C-alpha cells in the first residue's frame, strides 16, 4: 500500500509545515485544569497558547505524523508552568502526563521559583516547624492549609553542619524540586534549557544577596536551593546517555542595585549571562523605569557531590 500523500513529502518539508502549524510565537502556558474549567474539572494540567490556535490534532494522527509533530511541538516551543504558591505538583503532573517520549523532545521550560519557607534549626541540627500563628504565607487551599509548612531535614547534599550549630531560621527545600530535575534529565533526549523565574518575587531578589536587613524572613532567599539544583543537575546528567540541562535563573533588578551588587553577585557564585530591558521588566516595575531582567547561571560547583562527612 502506498503512503498517504503528506508522507510522500520529504521529511524536511514536513518539518517546515509542522513548524508553521505547531510553533507558538509566545510561551505556551501550562495551567491546572481547574483554573480554566472550574471545580468540577479533572486534575490533569492543560497547555494553552494565548491568542494563537495550534493544530494540535496533528499529535493525534497516525504514529508517524504524531511522532514527527511532537518533535516540533515540544522541541520548538517554550512551555511556562504556572503553579500555586510554592506548589510544584503541577510541574510534576504535567511532565508525567506528556510521557517519556515527549519529555525527551522538550527544548525550553520555564518554571516559577518561590522563596523557600523557613524552619527553625536548633543547635543539635534538628529542625522544627513554626507555629500556625507565626505563618502568614503558604496557604494553598482551605482543605489543606498546612501542606507547605512541612519541615524537611537538611538535605544530605549540603555541606555538613558542625554540631553545635548556630540556631536560627533556615530554608526548607521542597523535595519535589529534585523530582522535577530528575524527570527532565533522566529521560535523555535533546539538550534542555530550564528557566527558573524569580520575577514574581519582590524587586532585586537574588539568592544569596541580602537586600534589606528589615526584610521579613520569608522574603529572604539563601543559596541552599541554587546549590542543590546544581548538585541535582550534576547527579542526573553525569552519563552521556542522559540529556544536558542548562539552568538559568531570571530576576527583575533595578540598574542601580545591580551596579552596587555586581561584584558581590560574582563572589557568591553567580555568573551574569544577560541583562535585558524588555516589556516584562517595565510592566512589573512601572515605578522604576531603570529595571531590567537579569539572567543568571550558578557557577559550576567544584565540591564533591555528597560531602564525605555528611550526617
- Looking at residue 49, its pLDDT comes to 60
- Looking at residue 211, its pLDDT comes to 62
CA distance 7 to 19: 16
Interior CA angle at 74 toward 71 and 75, to 5°? 65
Sheet (strand 118-121) strand order: 127-128, 118-121, 168-171
User: Roughly what angle, to the nearest 10 degrees, separates helices 89-105 and 63-76?
Assistant: 120
What is the chain's mean pLDDT, rounded?
78
Within a 10 A sphere around the Cβ of 249, how many other Cβ atoms? 22
Within a 10 A sphere around the Cβ of 115, how many other Cβ atoms? 20
8 Å CB contact between 128 and 122: yes
Q: Average the pLDDT over 85-111 and give the result.
A: 90
Q: Where would I find the beta strands (DSSP E) of the chain?
A: 28-32, 45-48, 78-81, 108-112, 118-121, 127-128, 168-171, 192-197, 245-254, 270-276, 291-298
Q: What is the largest CA-CA distance in the chain?
A: 76
The tally of CA atoms less than 13 A away on the side-chain side of residue 116 is 24
CA distance 154 to 127: 8
178-227 per-position pLDDT tens digit: 999 999 998 888 899 999 998 666 677 888 887 655 555 555 688 899 99
Burial class (CB within 10 angstroms; exposed 0-12, middle 13-18, buried 19+) of 67: middle
- Only one residue has cell 511541538, namely 73
Give the predicted TM-score (pTM) of the model.
Answer: 0.81
Backbone torsion region of residue 102, taken as left when φ is above 0, otherwise alpha when ψ lies between -120 and 50, otherwise beta: alpha
CA distance 46 to 109: 15
Backbone torsion region of residue 135, taken as left when φ is above 0, otherwise alpha when ψ lies between -120 and 50, otherwise beta: beta
19-61 per-position pLDDT tens digit: 999 999 889 988 876 444 333 333 455 566 665 688 889 998 8
SS3 294: strand
- Only one residue has cell 511556562, namely 80
Q: Average the pLDDT over 85-90 and give the result.
A: 81
- Helices of type H across the chain: 11-22, 33-37, 63-76, 89-105, 176-185, 224-236, 255-267, 279-284
CA distance 11 to 64: 11
CA distance 136 to 246: 34
For residue 78, what pLDDT band results from cuts at 50, 70 and 90?
very high
Whether pLDDT at 287 is above 90: no
- Looking at residue 296, its pLDDT comes to 94
- Looking at residue 201, its pLDDT comes to 65
CA distance 132 to 150: 11
- Nearest to 257, CA basis, from 204, 201, 294, 214: 204
How far out from the chain centre does Cα 48 lie?
A: 18
- Nearest to 225, CA basis, from 247, 258, 199: 247
To the nearest whole percent, how much of the chain has pLDDT over 70?
72
For 42-62, give one letter per residue: b (16+ CB within 10 A) or e: eeebbbebeeeebeeebbeee
Amino acid at each position: 500500500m502506498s503512503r498517504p500523500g503528506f508522507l510522500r513529502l520529504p521529511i524536511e518539508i514536513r518539518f517546515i509545515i509542522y513548524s508553521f502549524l505547531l510553533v507558538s510565537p509566545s510561551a505556551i502556558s501550562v495551567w491546572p485544569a481547574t483554573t480554566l474549567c472550574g471545580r468540577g474539572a479533572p486534575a490533569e494540567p492543560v497547555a494553552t497558547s494565548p491568542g494563537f490556535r495550534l493544530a494540535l490534532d496533528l499529535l493525534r494522527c497516525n504514529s508517524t505524523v504524531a511522532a514527527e509533530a511532537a518533535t516540533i511541538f515540544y522541541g520548538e516551543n517554550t512551555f511556562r508552568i504556572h503553579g500555586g504558591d510554592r506548589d510544584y505538583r503541577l510541574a510534576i503532573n504535567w511532565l508525567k502526563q506528556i510521557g517519556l517520549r515527549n519529555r525527551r523532545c522538550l527544548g525550553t521550560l520555564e518554571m516559577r521559583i518561590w522563596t523557600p519557607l523557613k524552619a527553625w534549626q536548633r543547635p543539635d541540627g534538628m529542625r522544627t516547624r513554626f507555629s500556625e500563628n507565626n505563618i502568614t504565607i503558604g496557604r494553598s487551599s482551605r482543605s489543606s492549609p498546612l501542606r507547605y509548612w512541612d519541615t524537611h531535614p537538611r538535605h544530605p547534599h549540603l555541606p555538613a553542619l558542625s554540631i553545635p550549630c548556630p540556631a536560627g531560621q533556615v530554608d526548607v527545600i521542597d523535595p519535589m524540586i529534585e523530582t522535577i530535575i530528575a524527570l527532565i534529565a533522566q529521560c535523555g533526549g535533546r539538550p534542555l534549557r530550564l528557566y527558573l523565574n524569580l520575577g514574581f518575587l519582590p524587586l532585586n531578589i537574588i539568592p544569596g544577596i541580602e537586600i534589606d536587613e528589615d526584610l521579613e524572613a520569608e522574603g529572604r532567599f539563601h543559596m541552599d536551593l541554587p546549590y542543590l539544583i546544581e548538585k541535582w543537575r550534576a547527579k542526573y546528567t553525569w552519563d552521556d546517555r542522559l540529556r544536558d540541562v542548562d539552568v538559568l535563573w531570571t530576576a527583575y533588578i533595578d540598574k542601580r542595585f545591580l551596579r552596587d551588587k555586581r561584584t558581590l553577585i560574582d563572589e557568591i557564585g553567580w555568573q551574569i549571562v544577560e541583562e535585558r530591558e524588555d516589556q516584562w521588566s517595565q510592566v512589573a516595575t512601572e515605578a522604576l523605569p531603570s529595571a531590567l531582567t537579569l539572567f543568571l547561571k550558578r557557577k559550576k560547583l567544584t565540591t564533591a557531590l555528597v560531602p564525605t562527612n555528611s550526617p
